[in-house]
Homo-oligomer: A and B are copies of this chain.
């Protein structure tokens, strides 16, 4: 590319012809990658430092041709990629770069808008609000909610809890900070995602500001325990201010009894936040709509299209019934950002000033697959989860460790005569062997201290034969660990 782009007026970008040629080459590369990803090891086999050592220590002085960039994508980057696109990626929660989502990111990168203010790209702001309204309707939340896209659930929850903190009467944390304030406390279950605690640290509440509530046998928050904790805390001088309920916990995808929690929140004047990052997507299925029961009372709720709606990372949807509180928590308009329109300026509703065009990819995913198309895909994932659970249940060498509300199965291998500590070690060994094979990738968790394997179905490319392969590998490796 080098000097051809150094025009008399000064060096510029690639010419349209150069962009077209490179773009087509990359589109072909991506098509081939997606077609063949199944043949690559799911979990990268490099060692720490391998990739770093394969790269030069400094940026090149002169420009390089696109062919060199693409070559290194293949030769240097790819061996160090753990393939979240692989149909046998069963770890954590599956995510997918679907074709329309990938192309949506290409369009967003090309337009490169920064929607800090409405006027700095009206389409970016308004499409975001419309698409979030589509999604709201799809998952059965009430009309009139305010929606905003953030990058991750961690940031959505941080913003939601910042609004909850701002809503505490008589505090004025925005101006005065927390130094002179009483000790605020928020409640979440022992199964809640770590982002709730991280938000508490960031917001200046500290880990002490989070009280974890016990769960029932299916890992759902116990409303009575919450009510008791709030009572106790008030008596000992804490200021309870928020509850973070979970619809689809990270370990077992359990669904907290949001309806009952909402009643407690109403009675105690607590802000109810719901983390539905994973399972919110399931609510597009009529037969799974039950999981959102009570969420109509939530003061804020997060669900992540980049998790189980085939939208490339990052895209997290934050909804709230109180946009004015969220705005009070965050808006700051310096002179250089004053604007005159009567319109929503999304920079006022969160931590970030810069906001890229995340709505396009979600818009394209929803339109390309359609609501019915998405339902079919999610329904199939839930079927595959249940199918795998039935194999576990039917095999004496394995034990299911939690209910399977959606598409995630918690289980362990068993061997007669071993105690829990020995079983933990054996299962750890088993997981290591399974993942080292490179054909499937599972992750683990602990439930009430016990080491548990987790198989999560969530990638668009996963079919029954892939789940079957995971089962075959597990059975074979179980025999070798013993």
Contact = CB atoms under 8 A, between A and B. Distances in A.
A177 B204 contact: yes
A175 B210 CA distance: 10
B20 A27 contact: yes
A376 B11 contact: yes
A98 interface: yes
A310 B460 CA distance: 33
Interface string A116-158: 0011111110110110011101100000000000011111001
Interface stretch (A179-187, A294-302, A395-403): A179-187
Interface string A95-107: 1111111110111
The DSSP consensus for interface residues of chain A is helix
Contacts of A109: 97, 101-102, 105-106, 312, 361
Contacts of A364: 69
Interface in A81-113: 81-82, 84-85, 91-92, 95-103, 105-113
A325 interface: no
Nearest to A129: B52
A472 interface: no
A62 B13 contact: no
A276 interface: no
B9 A464 contact: yes
A476 to B, nearest CB: 23
B26 A353 contact: no
A122 B314 contact: no
Nearest to A306: B354
A51 interface: yes
B106 A313 contact: no
A29 B11 CA distance: 24
A342 B49 CA distance: 10
Given A100-B66, A176-B208, A30 B330 contact: no
A406 to B, nearest CB: 16
Closest 5 pairs (CB-CB, A-B): A204-B204, A177-B206, A80-B123, A23-B27, A97-B112
